[in-house]
Structure 1
Amino acid sequence: MSLLQYAGRLFSVDTLDTRFTTSSKAPPSRIDPARPSPAEAGLKSSGQGRNGGEDIVSGASPPRWKSPEFIYHGLVFLVAVPLMFKTVYQVSQPSDPEYHKFAPLLTPGWIPGRMVDNSDDQYSSFRDNVPYLFIVMTLHPLLRRFYDAICSPVGGASDSELKRTPNSGTLTIESEYTRAERRLKQRTSFDAGFSILFLIALHGFSAPKVLIILYINYTIATQLKKEYVPTATWIFNIGILFANELGKGYPYSNIARRILPWPASSNTSAENDSNSNWGTLLDTYGGLIPRWEILFNVTVLRLISFNFDYYWSLNRSGGSPIEKKQLDAANLSERDRVDIPAKPQDYSFRNYLAYVLYSPLYLAGPILTFNDYISQQRYTPQSITRTRTLLYGIRLFICLLAMEVMIHFIYVIAISKSQPAWEVYTPFQLSMLGYFSLHHVWLKLLLPWRFFRLWSLIDGIDPPENVVRCMSDNYSVFAFWRGWHRSYNRWLIRYIYIPMGGSGGPGTKGKFKALFNLLVIFTFVAMWHDIQLRLLVWGWLIALFVLPETVATTLFPKKRWENHKEAYRVICGIGAVGNILMMMSANLVGFAVGLDGLKGLVQGIAGSYSGVVFLAFACATLFTGVQVMFELREEELRHGIKMKC
């Protein structure tokens, strides 16, 4: 395999997640479309795609890469991209007048002669613990193998052997069923035990607080009358989000002060007695992550998933859906793994603990539904191969290296935190500070998500990929939210959007219903991230910025422009530039500089004649970028890949 072919396979969407190249209704395949089999290549040459035989390749336009227009776009890239990096690099240099303000936030880096901007609290907590996380990621599968070797019954199969094998005369349906049930029990038993130990290591004496919340939620699902479960689930879990925030993780010192105070000692002052009690002693042993409540938001999603998957399973009629549909239980499609309920006995407290506290996904996700988790515990998905997992790990390392280079040479987070005088920067410098701040946000979230997904893949569980495209390869608000934190988006659709009515139906009334549903969803999303005004504003801005795209797609339907495709591409490009500006503004408010910081950036850019001129050139450059994005998606279509993001 040539270097170019290897790079193509490394960066193929199939390596990222087979869900992008396989229909959700089709069982996953071990074949990599970047290196198709001869039979599959023949299908593609005849115009049949991977998604159920649909002729999607023929819908692509001829390549434009060598056209005069795209030669111009290429020249714009050659000039603009290096200039973007150069500009933000210059304002990060000691020679910059504002350097003295953010210099205290920098620390010595591992690249010779460079300081590192490790001032982002969220990313620094991950970056500082990367070596230890890699050790745990290595030990976890080894411990599972050791556990399997000890616990496998005599004559039974170890976990590594409990994989789907082609049917033969010696393998009966009953024996396959028995092996799957043994695998499920063995894996969930290990997961439950290891996860509790992992929980204690992470949160110390706060681990019982987490377990109490988990037990109450399980009781709501299994003990309440069926008709009360949905309402009680939402009230309890949203209440937990607020309670965790307001109670600051419920310190034992506060509990002790109100319930069982420490007996006063004659050798200590009254003031010391009020500030020191048995709870204070417990609080000092908070584990590796004492503030457990900060990361509990992801766990809340799994609590809701379990309760609703269990609730919906109660509404199913008797009989196995797998037998009724004559499906292969060992190789179900993703939709079947999610929609087909687990067996009644699978909703046990042990399986519940194993799912909610599953170590590789506990801290940050990606989010896997309970039904999907149980299905994959019975049978390892066909999508998991050593080659794919290795390539996925290489991609993670490349992203980690890109982040390290960025924070060693571009100090956008430190500049933003130092509250600089925005007026000293030129409009171009201000725009680049905002742009690279968003890239930092993108990378700091991508890296933990991909790290923990890699850990899960090594362990034999395939959760959805959270990040589909680079931050700079998005032009649609709808598509951006389908591809950003993708597992969360799918969770929102399954547990909120569809139960509320989804798209709302045809007509104007249906569109308004859909927009109202989106407003509710993004309000929940904002509260779920953090109970702060700026995030609530961010959520409402996102819901508001969906409106222009909705109106534009209504006024300019694609089918009416079939005979004017080039003009339609230009119109879409203009609209996409507006979308990008709105998305950048909303995300800067929510995750980077806040509302006041955005106001300073906007005033610095649009508050002068030179700034307006720059904005015009910036929009023209964004238009070039959008046209390249359009062509990249057409290129995917030419290879039989059609994604909605």
Structure 2
Amino acid sequence: MNTLQYAGRLFSVDTLDARFTSTTPQSRIDPARPFPNKASYNVSRDGRAGAEVTAKGVSPPRWKSPEFFYHALVFLVVVPLMFKTVYDVSKSSHPEYHRFAHLLSPGWIPGRMVDNSDSQYSSFRENVPYLFLLMTLHPLLRRLFDIFYSPVDQASKSKLKITTIGGNSPLSSDYARAERRLNERVTFDVGFSILFLIALHGFSAPKILMILYINYTIATQLHRDYVPAATWIFNIAILFANELGRGYPYSDLANFLSSWSYLRDSPKRDPIANWGTVLDSYGGLTPRWEILFNVTVLRLISFNLDYYWSLDRTEGSPIEKKQFDPANLSERDRVDIPAKHQDYSFRNYLAYTLYAPLYLAGPILTFNDYISQQRYAPQSIDWNRTLLYGIRFLICLLSMEVMIHFTYVIAISKAQPAWAVYTPFQLSMLGYFSLHHIWLKLLLPWRLFRLWSLLDGIDPPENVVRCMSDNYSVFGFWRGWHRSYNRWIIRYIYIPLGGSGGPSTRGKLGQVRAVFNLLVSFTFVAMWHDIQLRLLVWGWLISLFVLPETITTLLFPRKSWEKHKEAYRVICGIGAVGNILMMMSANLVGFAVGLDGLKGLVQGIVGSYSGLFFLAVACAALYTGVQIMFELREQELRRGIKLKC
């Protein structure tokens, strides 16, 4: 295999996540039907695509057309200029350097300082060596545990039965093997996760376990009609309580107890007041557990609602009724088919909510999917693909290191510079590279923890499908960014609210309802990230910016332009440029410079004729980028890959 072929496999969507290119699992194939059209499944299991085919509705390649020679020229000129511009404003010779120099630290690249001023990424960066060690030891410990573990004695084995269509029969060997695997893995997960939790949070671990127990009680002890409402109220209340209570320090509890009237004059008052401070001093590696708990809240809701929906299951297993192979279920089946009633035990719940590889940042795995993968090893995990995925992670990590050693965008924005000193092009690049820094600092932990999970035998969804610079649609960006969270929102919020409506509300009414449901969903997304006004504004802006895309889709339906495809492509390109500008604005408000910072950036860009001229040139360059994005997606379609982002 030559270098180009290896690079093609390394950066293929199949390496990123086998869900994007794998054919339908055998459990979903009707043997009475012919195999699906080859054009729909033209990528092999190892990601090597066959010869490109022109599927229905897909245009022939445009890469060698005169238009794309122009786009290539623009790309080759503009992209290096973008990097050079940010590099120039980061030099020690720049007039504003003195404002942010104190935020820089000595770097490992000779002659370069490093911008490690982002506290979130700095924490991750410092702990990367320890995380690598942990993700190596954890799978090895599991394998040692599997060797010495004996789940049940022979007497209890003989009592196990399975109900089949014909009645009771002895447990099949496949079923016994699956149950043993589930029991082994969950037992190890509970033990390891408790130790992991104590190491991370010290004496705060009991607070987390108490929250988990209350949530489990809501699901299993309340009348089923109250479970959904009680689940949402409790978990949203926990988000606010964790924020306002700052993780409930023991010192606050001790002060409260010491304030009781009968203890005011007690000689034991001082010891009572001091024990809280002592416990708080042993907060583990991550004392502020409440910051990381938001991801666990999603798992708490997932368990409760999966359990609630499982109560609606009629007699008999859906797997038996549809005659699926339980060892080869599609991801959709693993998520949708409820686990067995006995699977919703507190032990399984504890193993799921505290599963070490995904505990800190995800990706998000539903409870049903977790139990299914614990019982049957997912066939999507391939060691060669996992190795390529690990190499791809290292490339992303190196890219981030190069970026923070040569471009100091975070330090510049934190120093609150005099924006008037920068040219419109420099201002736009500061905002653009700030977004790239945010994209990378979130991508890296998500991929590292997913890699850890893959090494452990669990295949969660990939969170980031496309590069930040390869997005032109608000809907597509939301589907491909934090993808597992997007799917969680759809399953547990958007669809229960009604989605875009049923057949009776299709068309314009369905679109209005879909936008309203998106507004509710993004409001929760903003609160979940952090209870801050700027994030609420971000959520509402994203919902608002869906409207132009929705309206133009209604005004310019694709079917009406079948005879004018080239004109339609141009119109879509112009609309996509507007989408990109709006998405950049919303994300700068929510995650980078805030409202005031965005105001300074915008005024600096459009506050002069030269700035307006630059904006026009920038839009033309974005149009080139959009056309390249369009063609990349057409190329995927020619290979039988259809992604909704």
Name the TM-score, length of structure 2 as normaliser. 0.92
Tell me whether 1:440 sits opposite 2:461 in the alignment: no
CA distance in 2, matches of 1:248, 1:465: 31
Q: Letter of the aligned partner of 1:379 in structure 2?
A: Y
> How many Å apart are 1:179 and its aligned residue?
0.5
| Distance in 2 separating the partners of 1:259 and 1:339 | 47
Check the 8 A contact 2:240/2:531 in 1, yes or no.
yes
Q: Whole-Å Cα distance in 2 between the matches of residues 503 and 50 of structure 1?
A: 32
**Secondary structure of 1:259 counterpart:** helix
SS at structure 2 position matched to 1:59:
coil
Which residue in the other structure is 2:3 paired with? 3
Distance 1:152 1:10 in 2: 40
Q: Is the 8 A contact 1:384 1:462 kept in 2?
A: yes
> Is 1:321 aligned to residue 314 of structure 2?
no
**Residue matched to 1:37:** none
CA shift at 1:509, angstroms? 2.1
Shift of 1:121: 0.8
Distance across 1 between alignment mates of 2:43 and 2:311 = 35
1:48 and 1:267 map into 2 onto residues whose CA distance is 77
Q: Which consecutive unaligned segments of at least 5 residues does structure 1 have?
A: 30-39, 157-171
- Kindly state the Cα deviation for residue 267 of structure 1 after the two structures are TM-superposed: 12
Residue in 1 that maps onto 2:626:
626
Question: 2:299·2:367 contact (CA, 8 Å) conserved in 1?
Answer: yes
The corresponding residue for 1:14 is 14
Q: How far apart are residue 57 of structure 1 and its match? A: 2.7
Q: 1:155 to 1:465 in 2, by over 3 A?
A: same
The answer to whether 1:111 aligns with 2:113 is no
Find the counterpart in structure 1 of residue 226 from structure 2: 228
Q: Deviations over 1:543-594 (max 9, x none)?
A: 0000000000000000000000000000000000000000000000000000
Residue aligning to 2:137: 139
Q: Hey, what's the Cα distance between the residues in 1 that align with 2:320 and 2:624? A: 53
Residues 246 and 186 of structure 1: CA distance in aligned 2, closer, same or farther (over 3 Å): same
Alignment counterpart, residue 380 of structure 1, candidates 377, 380, 384: 377
Residue identity matched to 1:457: L
Matching residue's letter, 1:582: M
- Confirm whether residue 217 of structure 1 aligns to residue 221 of structure 2: no
Residues 323 and 347 from structure 1, CA distance in 2 versus in 1: closer, same or farther, beyond 3 angstroms? Answer: same
Tell me the SS of whatever aligns to 1:289: coil
Once residues 529 and 250 of structure 2 are traced to their aligned partners in structure 1, the CA distance between those partners, rounded to angstroms, is 25
CA RMSD of aligned residues (A): 2.4
Tell me, yes or no, if structure 1 residue 305 matches structure 2 residue 302: yes
- 1:293 corresponds in structure 2 to 290
- Aligned-partner residue type, residue 149 of structure 1: I
**Whole-angstrom distance in 2 between the partners of 1:23 and 1:585:** 38
d(CA) in 2 for partners of 1:108, 1:575: 44
Structure-2 residue corresponding to 1:412: 409
> Which residue type is aligned with residue 569 of structure 1?
R
CA distance in 1 between counterparts of 2:83 and 2:190 reads: 47
What per-residue deviation string (whole Å, max 9, x for no partner) do you get for residues 489-533 of structure 1? 000000000000011231322221111101000100000000000
In 1, Cα distance between the equivalents of 2:247 and 2:27?
A: 42
Q: What's 1:127 paired with?
A: 125
Residue 64 (str. 1) matches residue 62 (str. 2) = yes
1:82 aligns with 2:80: yes
Query: Which of the residues 473, 480, 483 maps onto 2:480?
Result: 483
Q: Give the aligned partner of residue 421 of structure 1.
A: 418
> What is the deviation of 1:205?
0.4
> Do the aligned partners of residues 28 and 494 (structure 1) sit closer, same or farther apart at CA in structure 2, a change above 3 Å counting?
same
- Among 192, 203, 206, which residue is 1:208 paired with? 206
CA–CA distance in structure 2, aligned partners of residues 405 and 590 of structure 1: 25
1:461 is the counterpart of 2:458: yes
Contact 1:519–1:543 (8 Å) recurs in 2: yes
Task: Give 3-state SS (helix, strand or coil) of 1:209's partner.
Answer: helix
Query: Which amino acid in structure 2 is aligned with residue 372 of structure 1?
Result: D
- 1:181-580 counterparts in 2 under 5 A? 181-260=179-258, 277-504=274-501, 505-580=505-580
2-structure distance, mates of 1:602, 1:360: 41
Work out the CA distance in 1 between the residues paired with 2:24 and 2:430.
39
Could you tell me how far apart the structure 2 residues matched to 1:238 and 1:633 are? Answer: 38
Query: Structure 2 counterpart of 1:639, which letter?
Result: R
CA distance in 2, matches of 1:274, 1:77: 69
- Cα distance, 1:478–1:174 mapped onto 2, change above 3 Å: same
State the one-letter code of the partner of 1:577.
Answer: V
Q: Does the 8 Å CA contact 1:465/1:487 hold for their aligned counterparts?
A: yes
Q: Using a 3 Å threshold, how does the CA distance of structure 1 residues 67 and 397 change in structure 2: closer, same or farther?
A: same
Shift of 1:274: 11
In the alignment, the residues of structure 1 paired with residue 301 and residue 328 of structure 2 have an alpha-carbon distance, to the nearest angstrom, of 26
Residue 28 of structure 1: CA displacement?
Answer: 10
Q: What amino acid is the match of 1:331?
A: N
Looking at structure 2, the residues matched to 28 and 447 of structure 1 have their Cα atoms a distance apart, in angstroms, of 34
Count of aligned positions = 613
**Deviation of the 1:259 alpha carbon:** 2.0
Q: CA deviation at 1:261?
A: 6.5
Q: Secondary structure at the match of 1:567?
A: helix
- Equivalent residue of 2:172, what SS? helix
Q: Secondary structure at the match of 1:128?
A: helix
Q: Which amino acid aligns with 1:179?
A: R
For residues 179 and 25 of structure 1, what CA distance do their matches in structure 2 show? 21
Distance 1:275 1:444, change over 3 A: farther
- 1:219-262 deviation digits (Å, cap 9, x = unpaired): 00000000000000000000000000000000000011002469
Classify 1:463/1:375 alpha carbon distance in 2 versus 1 (closer, same or farther; 3 Å): same
CA distance in 2, matches of 1:498, 1:519: 13
* 1:148 has 2:137 as partner: no
Report if aligned partners of 2:362, 2:450 keep a CA contact under 8 Å in 1: yes
Change (3 A) 1:642 1:436: same
| Structure 2 CA distance for aligned equivalents of residues 25 and 231 of structure 1 | 36
Q: Which runs of 5+ in 2 are unaligned?
A: 30-34, 45-52, 155-169
Deviations 1:421-451 (A, max 9, x none): 1110000000000000000000000000000
DSSP-derived class of the 1:583 partner? helix
Check 1:152–1:2 CA distance in 2 against 1; reply closer, same or farther (3 A cut). farther
Counterpart of 1:641 in structure 2: which amino acid? I
Q: CA deviation at 1:56?
A: 7.8
Q: What does residue 594 of structure 2 align with?
A: 594
**Secondary structure of the equivalent of 2:497?**
coil
In 2, the alpha carbon distance for the partners of 1:267 and 1:476 equals 67
Note if contact 1:201-1:288 (Cα within 8 Å) is conserved in structure 2: yes
Aligned partner of 2:91 among 93, 97, 109:
93
CA shift in 2, pair 1:253/1:560, >3 Å: same
Q: Give the deviation of 1:298 after TM superposition.
A: 0.3
1:2 deviation in Å? 1.2
Please give the secondary structure, in 2, of the residue aligned with 1:498: helix
Contact 2:40 2:641 in 1 (8 A): no
Once the two structures are superposed, residues 111-141 of structure 1 have per-residue CA deviations (whole angstroms, 9 ceiling, x without a partner) of: 0111000100111110010000011101101
Partner of 2:49: none
- Partners of 1:282 and 1:478 lie apart in 2 by 47
Query: Compared with structure 1, are the counterparts of its residues 97 and 266 closer, same or farther at alpha carbon in structure 2 (3 Å cutoff)?
Result: farther
Partners of 2:75 and 2:187 lie apart in 1 by 54
CA distance in 2, matches of 1:28, 1:592: 44
Quote the Cα distance in structure 2 between the aligned partners of 1:291 and 1:256. Answer: 19
Contact kept? 2:27, 2:324, Cα under 8 Å: no
CA distance in 1, matches of 2:423, 2:23: 48
Between the aligned partners of 2:392 and 2:506, the Cα distance in structure 1 is 42
